Each structure stands twice: as structure tokens, then as C-alpha cells.
Amino acid sequence: MAHTPTPRAAFDTLLDGNQRFVAGSPEHPNQDAARRAEVVLAQKPFAVLFGCSDSRLAAEIIFDRGLGDLFVVRTAGHVAGPEVLGSIEYGISVLGAPLVVVLGHEGCGAVAAARSSVEDGTSGSGYVRDVIERVTPSVLAARAAGRTEDADFIAEQVRHTVDLLLERSRVLAEAVEAGRLAVVGLSYRLADGTARLITARGLDEVPAGSAG
């Protein structure tokens, strides 16, 4: 994209790519030598994608995008610390992306580990324990609301992460309030490749639960 799209246009572009991936008809845009040369001196991604580190969530593949399109930040369970917040703020304030996407997915190991920790007291060792501890509030919140399915815990972690980003980052919160940015949470289905909307801030016209 040569110009900066609106948050809604960026969101639609992302989901259009996911629909092509699901249908088995990807266009592989911006993946040729011409695009490689075009982005040598500068990048202008249309979205910051903050996702889980799971190897099955290669962002440019599942959203059918190419070089320079997505500014990708990934951690296990999309756990957000200062380095993550700084990276996302860089994508917004320096690179000018109008969209932040938090991408969770079914079968998330970090969420499963946090659930096991809550239910039977098991915990990881080393810094894995820190990841589990940061996901545990989402598991507790889902359980407190009477939600017990794996999809419920995944969705709660996505919502929690979106809320955390906006609570801890004034840069993001002010950009959303000004209408320059949307922050959305998606949940990815491994079996069919669809990305389902869980929550959205700055895209009020998009109903949560719609599929990509």
C-alpha cells in the first residue's frame, strides 16, 4: 500500500487475504523481486500483528501478504511485556500503521499450560513459568464467568491482551481515541485457517464474532 489506509480499510485488507488463504487461492502479493527492491530503504506496513509464537501461525502466509506489509511481533501466548509494547508503539508512531492485531489461536500451548496450572497446580520451569503466570488471569476470568471450553479461554486471553495494550500504552490509546488506529483481537482456527474476530476497539461497526 503506497498510502496509509484507514483502520477499517487495513482490517478489510487483512481479512481479504485470510479469505484467499482459506479458499486455497492465495495471490502472494508483494513477494517478488520488484517488491524486495521497493522496500530496501523504507517500510510502511499497514498493520502491526502481535501474535503467538506458535509455528503454525506464519502471519504473511495465513493473511496472504508479502514483504513490508506486516510488522510482526510474537511471543508465546501473545504475552506482552515492555519490549512488546515498545515494538508495537514503534509500528504505530514511527512506521504509521493504522491497525494493531492481536492474534490468538486454538490449541495454544501457553493457555493450556495456564489452565493446567489453575486446575491441578502444575507449573513450568524457568521463564516458562513467567509466561504461564501472565496467561493465568485470563483462565481465571473465563472460569469465573462460567466459560469452560478451550475456545473460551483462548478468546479471553485475546480480549485480555487487547485491553492490556490499551491500558498500558498511552500511544495506542490516544491513537484509537483520535480515530487513527484500531486494535482488534482475532482467534485463528488451525483446522480451516479462518481468523475470527473476538474484540475490536476503533472498529465499532464490525460485530465481534464475524469470521475472516
| Per-position pLDDT tens, the chain of length 212 | 457 899 999 999 999 999 999 999 999 999 999 999 999 999 999 999 999 999 999 999 999 999 999 999 999 999 999 999 999 999 999 999 999 999 999 999 988 888 888 888 777 778 888 999 899 888 889 888 988 888 999 999 999 999 999 999 999 999 999 999 999 999 999 999 999 999 999 986 544 445 44
Closest-CA residue to 103 (of 196, 178, 36, 27)? 196
Residue for cell digits 485463528? Answer: 188
Nearby residues of 96 by Cβ (< 8 Å), 6 or more positions away: 4, 44
Nearest of 18, 12, 11, 28 to residue 57 by alpha carbon: 18
Q: Which residues of 67-86 are buried (b: 16+ CB within 10 A; e: fewer)?
A: bbbbbbbbbbbbbbeeebbe
The answer for 146, left when phi > 0, alpha when psi is -120 to 50, beta otherwise, is: left
Claim: this prediction has a pTM higher than 0.85: yes
The C-alpha atoms of residue 100 and residue 45 are separated, in whole angstroms, by: 11
